[in-house]
Amino acid sequence: MKKTRRLEGIIHGCFLILGLITVGFVLLITVYLVISGIPAIIEIGPKEFLFGKRWASTAAEPEYGILPFILTSIYGTCGAIAIGVPVGFLSAVYLSKLAGRRIRTVAEEAVSLLAGIPSVVYGLVGMIILVPGIRKLFDIPDGASLLAAMIVLAIMILPSIIKVSMTSLDAVPKEYEDASLALGATPVETYFKVSVPAARSGIAAAVVLGVGRAIGEAMAVMMVSGNAANMPGLFESVKFLTTAVASEMSYSEGLQRQALFSIALVLYVFIMLINALLNGVLKKRGEK
């Protein structure tokens, strides 16, 4: 009897360890990024690093200012949201409220296909179609630009925005809509004035999720944005926080390599803030 109890205790302990594994990994990642990211920031100087406008890591007198990357990531994400959210949100309202069953099933399948396509495939198609298209349309020497990255990111965040918005629109109690219809509002008015406000926290969560996706994407963006460390402009060739790390990591050494870890740390801080925001939005919905 005592033996079985001890055995149960050991098994309980094993599962406890497994249960804590996600916490452990989060801590491990955080600690590693901080340890490897801080030295370069101190050596370069926090102000010069975060607000320096020039990144010339391979120059004779290297400069490590990552403001161009930070701004590019912010602008790129904002652009992707500005294009992707209206399209995704309006599609979600249509699919959730107006579309027939069959269209909905097909659309859901299409959305999961879009979500599952590897980012390099987006990058490839963007590189072959979008980049030359932008070059011709705006008559600029190279179409690989912030604009191309924004469009690719907008397409890549569409599935999460549509899916999450649809889920929260579907969850709006039918009584709300019925009441509005009974008061004489037309269906379309009801959807936009009753259902959408009722689902607003879910839609907000969808947007925040999209921001997280867009700011963390590396490969697709690397293939269409030109990869020069310019300050962001719609038609400039730019580097994001993610692509700065991805493009230089393989040949970097010394301080340059450490600076790349610092960039990753900055990106990580952004992601953590977004996560906290997302959690806040979702929690608010839970309390309501």
Partner 1 sequence: MNRLAGISKKRRVKIALLKALMLIAVAIASGIVIFLAVYVLARGLKGISWELLTTEPSYINDTIGILPDILNTLYIIIATLFFVVPLSVGAAIYLNEYAKSRRLVAVIEYAAETLSGIPSIIYGLVGMLIFCELFGFETCLLSGALTLVIMNIPTVMRTTQESLKSVPDSLREGAFGLGAGKWRVIKTVVLPCCVDGIVTGCILAVGRILGESAALLFTAGFSHDLNGLFEGLFKSGATLTVALYVYTKERAGLEVGFAIAAMLMLMTLAINLLAGAVKRGFKKRRDL
How many C-alpha atoms does 47 have within 13 Å on its Cβ side? Answer: 0
Cβ-based nearer residue to partner 1, 118 or 233: 118
Residue 121: CB minimum distance to partner 1, A = 5
Residue 60: CB minimum distance to partner 1, A = 27
Residue 113: CB minimum distance to partner 1, A = 6
Cβ-based nearer residue to partner 1, 28 or 42: 28
Cβ-based nearer residue to partner 1, 176 or 268: 268
Selection from 231, 269, 263 nearest residue 247 by Cα = 263
Q: How far is CA 142 from CA 83, 139, 260, in A?
A: 22, 9, 27
Residue 239: CB minimum distance to partner 1, A = 13
Residue 44: CB minimum distance to partner 1, A = 18
Q: What is the dihedral of CA 145, 149, 151, 154, to 10 degrees?
A: -160
Cβ-based nearer residue to partner 1, 14 or 53: 14
Cβ-based nearer residue to partner 1, 59 or 168: 168
Residue 192: CB minimum distance to partner 1, A = 6
Query: What is the rounded distance in angstroms from the CA atom of residue 16 to the CA atom of residue 284?
Result: 30
Query: What is the rounded distance in angstroms from the CA atom of residue 90 to the CA atom of residue 188?
Result: 12
**Which H or E element spans position 63?**
strand 63-64
Cβ-based nearer residue to partner 1, 109 or 233: 109
Selection from 235, 211, 215 nearest residue 225 by Cα = 235
**Residue with token string 């072959």:** 128
DSSP 64: E
Cβ-based nearer residue to partner 1, 233 or 273: 273
DSSP 238: B
Residue 182: CB minimum distance to partner 1, A = 13
Rounded to 5 degrees, what angle do the CA atoms 115, 276, 193 make?
Answer: 65
Tokens representing 160 are 């999460």
